[in-house]
Structure 1
Amino acid sequence: MNIKSLIMTSVIALASASAVQAADVVIPHEVAPVIAAPTFSWTGFYLGAQIGGRSMKSDKNSGPFSKNNLKLSGMLGGLYTGYNVDLGSGVIFGLDTDVTFVGKKDTIDGDTKLIGITPNAKTVADINKILTEAKIKKNDNLDVQARDAYTESITMKEKWSGATRVRIGFATDRVMPYIAGGVAYTQMQGISAIEVKKSGEAAAGADANKVIASGTVHDETKTLVGYTLGAGVDFAMTDNVLLRAEYRYSDYGKKKYFKDTAELQYRINDFRVGVAYKF
């Protein structure tokens, strides 16, 4: 009995010691790895659309309407694309090009003059030459005479404009203020017209104030090239969606129209916003 009791006591003691040791064992817990959000990169191509407003003033430095200014302000819309390269330390170098459409036009009517009477007015021969070269037909077989009245007008219309620029940005994570400059270009259509009619001094009765002839004398479309400067800020809303807000000044220089009888100068201030997809 003593041997059996001794064996039983030993088994119980061994089991108790094993249980105590098991209770003292520390089971390590796995720690989930910390994944850092990837840093946004401005490098890459982008393509977007833009809208905005334009304040445009045209100074005519010469010609019959030198005292008047064309006003071609209005809304604009268009597309832009470009490529950015991250140079490091938050400096971004980019090339950007765009095209916009305005469709705005403005017409200026000159003073009404009496042929051969008003100072600096055209002669009968001058008017007949203009009508013949422009292939403008006379109404009701009416003839141009001294003291008849005539009025000249010009209409200017911007067909499209664009620019190719260098941008230098200073990025802080997903916000990039920038400055930009480059070449600006636009296509302008110029139309000159004339209306000749009988005046009370040259005709009486039924013919008074009748229109002798009217029509387009010149219709010219020319491309102007100048420079543009601007500044703005891009916002990376996601890794692929970029918002833009920008101010831009453009000077397209001077261009002669209507057989060099008028020289026009164009300068533009505009503000635009855009959204682009970054590839």
Structure 2
Amino acid sequence: MRRLTFASTGFLVLMCGSAFAADIGADVPMTAPGFDWTGYYAGLQAGYGWGQSDISGTEGAPFSITPDIDGGFVGGHVAGLWQFDQAVLGAEAELNYSSIDGTTESGLGSTFGTDIKWFGSVNAKAGYAVDRLLVYGIGGVAFAGIETSQVAGPAFASTRTNIGWTLGAGVDYALTDKFVVGAQYRYYDFGSEHYDVAEPFNDRDQDVKLNTVGINLSYKF
């Protein structure tokens, strides 16, 4: 009888313990939480750019010529991101060294050139996160050091700082909790800048637009 009582008591304790464990287990997540994009980042980017430069005379005989430009770039960036559920908001700044340039020859034999020495931007960034994957849009104020040049026997070159805007989109993937890789497309409109040049050349306006595709590697602090 005593053995039966102990056995019955043990069975009841076991059943109650199992039920309690099952109840606790229902409230405890079975998997670790997803990647959190909130944080500060710094990294490098590199890519290829192509676009067009519209050069038009503002004195003397009117002229208009359009060199195509292309080339590579490499640079760095810093960013801060904050995640709210699956929405990610933040800001990013970039600065790039560039070898994007191009020349074209006019009907009179002069060679006109455009050379983007460097460019960068300060941006707002907004995206949608699915664990370690982030798809985003980006845009803001863009700036660049752009040279205009002409060779017609004699030659000249002059560099000014252009200010415009940029818009783009990209995708990032967190390889680890610290390292993020990504790809991005950007469109830059650096606006029109006026160049006063010495004789025998004519003053001119130069309007530069640029497309870029690039890859990036970031470290999350």
* Distance in structure 1 (CA, Å) of the matches to 2:191 and 2:29: 58
* Distance in structure 2 (CA, Å) of the matches to 1:251 and 1:175: 29
1:274 paired to 2:186: no
Alignment counterpart, residue 109 of structure 1, candidates 99, 105, 108: 105
Residue of structure 2 in register with 1:173 after alignment: 131
1:156 CA displacement: 2.1
User: Structure 1 residues 225 and 34, CA, compared in 2 at 3 Å: closer, same or farther?
Assistant: closer
Residue of structure 2 in register with 1:13 after alignment: none
Q: Is the 8 A contact 2:56 2:65 kept in 1?
A: no
Task: Give the match's secondary structure for 1:72.
Answer: strand
- Which amino acid is 1:231 matched to? A
Structure 1 stretches of 4+ moved >6 Å: 26-35
1:84 paired to 2:81: yes
Q: Is the 8 A contact 1:166 1:180 kept in 2?
A: yes
Q: TM-score, normalised by structure 2?
A: 0.78
Deviations 1:109-138 (A, max 9, x none): 3344xxxxxxxxxxxxxxxxxxxxxxxxxx
- Which amino acid is 1:98 matched to? E
Q: Is the 8 A contact 2:70 2:102 kept in 1?
A: no
Alignment counterpart, residue 236 of structure 1, candidates 153, 157, 174: 174
- Which amino acid is 1:243 matched to? V
1:48 paired to 2:43: yes
> Mapping of 1:118-133 within 5 angstroms?
none
More strand as a share of residues: 2
Q: Count residues with an aligned counterpart.
A: 205
Residue of structure 1 in register with 2:162 after alignment: 224
Gaps of 5+ in 2: none
* Distance in structure 2 (CA, Å) of the matches to 1:108 and 1:236: 43
In angstroms, what is the RMSD of aligned CA positions?
3.0
Gaps of 5+ in 1: 1-16, 113-150, 196-214
1:79 CA displacement: 1.4
Q: Is the 8 A contact 1:192 1:258 kept in 2?
A: no
Larger Rg: 1
The alignment-based identity, stated in percent, is 26
> Mapping of 1:57-72 within 5 angstroms?
57-62=52-57, 66-72=63-69
1:155 CA displacement: 2.7
Residue of structure 1 in register with 2:191 after alignment: 253
* Distance in structure 2 (CA, Å) of the matches to 1:272 and 1:172: 22
* Distance in structure 1 (CA, Å) of the matches to 2:124 and 2:196: 35
> Mapping of 1:130-141 within 5 angstroms?
none
